[in-house]
Amino acid sequence: MDTSVRDEARETSGATTGGLLRYVRHVGGEDAVPELLRRAGTSATAAELEDQSRWWSYATRIRLFEAATDVLDDPATMFGVGANVLRTGLAHSLVILLRAMGSPRQVFRQLPRAVQKFSTTSTMEILEAGHTTATIRYRLHDGYPHSRLDCLYTRGLLTTVPQIFSLPAARIVHDECQSDGHEACVYHLEWSPRSRLPWRRRGSASVDPELHALRGQLQILQSAATDLVASDDVETVLRRIVDRAAQAVLAPAYLLAVERPGGGAPLVHSAGMSAAMVPAMAQRLLAGESFGSAAVVVDIASSRRTHGRLAALYRPGDEPMGDESTMLAAYAGHAAAALDLIIALEDARQEADRAGALLALAHELAAATDAAAVTEVVSDALPGIVGCSTAGILLWDPSAGALRSHASVGLTDEGYEVLTGTVLQVEDVPELVGMLTDREPRIIRSASSSPALRELLEGVGTSDVVAVPLLADGAFLGVATAGWHDGESVPELDGDVVARLRGVGDQATSALQKARLLETVRHQATHDALTGLPNRVLFLDRLEELLPAAGTGAHLSVLFCDLDRFKQVNDTLGHAAGDELLRQVAARLRAAVRPGDTVGRLSGDEFAIILPGLTDPADAQSLAQRVGDCFAEPFRLEGRDVAVGTSVGVAIHEAGDAEQLLRAADAAMYRHKESGRAG
């Protein structure tokens, strides 16, 4: 990249230029992108412009906007670019943060803080934000020539806010433009409220923006793990850490500083900062000094060591949105594991086979998506890395205060049965108590171990074992073990064996954390955050799965429930009481149905229940009555008893798909409501 590109003012985020290029590529084809760059007169490559860690000048931004409009020969191009950001790569983490705010109204109220993630040349002010309307004042700073194309892009961008919540795009009126001599651009927006009927929302995006963002975030996280562990030198890792951090947290600048493994001056990598200020800032970062609210700072640390710190930096007066440190910490955890891996490889260059095994393990762990796969991969790899005969992973069950085997290799069938049938209770194993206390590895020899461990070692045919705790941010996850059969020549159980086992344990810890994050995201994508019940997506999936088995002797029914006077509770007692009512309703419904039934919250105050395996269709009415009866007792809200009823509709499956069955139950519910029968 030439000097002109390197010296670009950091005024426009790569998230903006990247979205523009992806839109042009989608509309005009692959050949349109090189033509766009040529007409814009930039020497930056497409890859550089799509890199979210890079920022560009306002002048480059406008030249790209003008070139895109010319290449596509469409004066409305920039409105289309703004209106399609959810499909062309608006930062996934930002979509999730905005979705968590709960409504378009709340997003518009926080929008001025979000603007700082994309531009440093303008100021946004929310003049009014209502339930379905908003008025926004947007002013370009003095010294920058206003562009109608930039205004057009902003208008398209603002219309997408309701789409974050799967609503139709907002309608926008723009009568005052800075290009016409007005002091600022003023935008009036109006959007439609959410329909209470699920099938009436078909006009919204076919893919939930939050689910799309969660999937994209997971792909980035998995890709980051693969990229980092595939790096073979520290400088490459540092550069990739900063690149990946920009995908987790959008900010004008980033700073990474780590201690050099062999001592000496720290290793520093930065983006968006002048070279003159980097050394002093890196020193402050490593010293643990606070950067205030205008920064997100996380440690790059594993259970073995603290390597350094990573910071996303904002302009003075600006600050992060939400808990962005959580996602940044996930990347820092991968970075720590990668740095650990590099250090371990440097120390083991003469052991080519074992180094190859470590790399293979890292790649396999990057592809593992659940705890079972992680434990299997690690236990399979340990003999080649450590030189042991047996290996295994035992995970900690904090509720039971016990360790249980989850994967093992090298044991006989009898030994495997003994291991899987043994639960190591903390009160029976002093070695486990010691490990929980000091979090240090243990060399366990059968002859000198506690009775419970001696019995286990004899049962699996192992004489000596090295056990290393798996730790994540101080939390005890379990134990990785390497052992040798009775009568085998055992290597010296010194620091080298423990270090190799620890290195694998650190990778296993990082992979287990990733697997748990994946599991959390899967759960968030398919469950209602307020009640924990399956959401509409999961509810329909389960209903569709049960349809083929429905028939004579195993009838399938759906109950559709709508709360009576729910709006009155919200209006008189507040939304907190309304949320508590929904949680209590969910608990009562779960208690009222059979173990194999599925209760879901579809939206608002609408719940539905799948009743499979009914021997007689009339049984559905009995269960509906039971559901109605659970509303007989008042609910305790804000210190008072509140009576809330429900209307219940019943539909028996005869033909059609899951949507049709659910629609029939909803229609029955409305007939029930209109008939005046409550409960």
Least confident of 160-169, 357-366, 488-497: 488-497
Q: Is 286 helix (H, G, I), strand (E, B) or coil?
A: helix
- Cα of first residue to Cα of last residue in the chain, in angstroms, is 70
In angstroms, the CA 597 to CA 592 distance is: 10
Torsion angle defined by CA atoms of residues 9, 14, 15 and 21, in that order, rounded to the nearest 10 degrees: 120
What would the pLDDT profile of 572-630 be if each residue is shown by its tens digit? 899 899 999 999 999 999 998 888 899 999 988 999 999 998 888 888 888 888 898 88
Quote the pLDDT of residue 492: 61
pTM for this predicted structure: 0.44
Quote the pLDDT of residue 589: 93
| pLDDT over 60 at 211, yes or no | no
Domains of the chain: 3-197 (3.90.1520.10), 212-345 (3.30.450.40), 367-522 (3.30.450.40), 536-675 (3.30.70.270)
Ranked by mean pLDDT, the top range of 299-308, 353-362, 588-597 is 588-597
Quote the pLDDT of residue 214: 47
Report DSSP state, residue 448: G
Helix (H) or strand (E) holding 558: strand 555-563
| pLDDT over 50 at 204, yes or no | no
Band of residue 98 on the pLDDT scale cut at 50, 70, 90: low
Is residue 562 within 8 Å of residue 606, measured between CB atoms?
Answer: yes
Give me the phi and psi of 295, to 5 degrees please.
-155, 150
- The type of residue at 125 is E
Quote the pLDDT of residue 381: 84
Quote the pLDDT of residue 198: 53
- Residue with the bigger pLDDT between 172 and 232: it is 172
In angstroms, the CA 676 to CA 57 distance is: 65
- Residue with the bigger pLDDT between 537 and 384: it is 537
- As a whole number, mean pLDDT of residues 257-283 equals 79
Quote the pLDDT of residue 30: 92
In angstroms, the CA 598 to CA 347 distance is: 54
In angstroms, the CA 140 to CA 234 distance is: 41
Quote the pLDDT of residue 133: 94
In angstroms, the CA 477 to CA 469 distance is: 8
* Adjacent-strand bridge partners of 397: 402
For residue 8, CA distances in Å to 60, 69, 242, 271, 319 come to 8, 23, 18, 12, 23
What would the pLDDT profile of 10-43 be if each residue is shown by its tens digit? 788 888 898 899 999 999 999 999 999 999 999 9
Least confident of 117-131, 252-266, 387-401, 469-483: 252-266
Torsion angle defined by CA atoms of residues 573, 574, 579 and 585, in that order, rounded to the nearest 10 degrees: 20
- As a whole number, mean pLDDT of residues 325-339 equals 75
| pLDDT over 90 at 209, yes or no | no
Residue 429 exposure: Cα atoms within 13 Å on the Cβ side: 22
- Residue with the bigger pLDDT between 341 and 216: it is 341
Ranked by mean pLDDT, the top range of 272-276, 346-350, 502-506, 535-539 is 535-539
Share of the chain above pLDDT 90, in %: 25
Least confident of 90-94, 336-340, 396-400, 672-676: 90-94
Neighbouring C-beta atoms of residue 492, cutoff 10 Å: 7
What would the pLDDT profile of 443-464 be if each residue is shown by its tens digit? 888 888 888 888 888 888 888 8
Mean pLDDT across the chain, nearest whole number?
82
What would the pLDDT profile of 470-511 be if each residue is shown by its tens digit? 888 778 888 888 888 876 645 565 567 777 788 888 888 887
- The type of residue at 166 is S
Torsion angle defined by CA atoms of residues 383, 387, 392 and 397, in that order, rounded to the nearest 10 degrees: -130
Q: What angle, 0 to 180 degrees and rounded to 10, lies between the N-to-C axes of helices 536-546 and 495-526? A: 90
- Residue with the bigger pLDDT between 408 and 7: it is 408
Band of residue 188 on the pLDDT scale cut at 50, 70, 90: very high
What would the pLDDT profile of 100-110 be if each residue is shown by its tens digit? 666 888 888 87
Q: With DSSP H G I counted as helix, E B as strand and the rest as coil, what are the percentages for the chain, rounded to 5?
A: 50, 20, 30
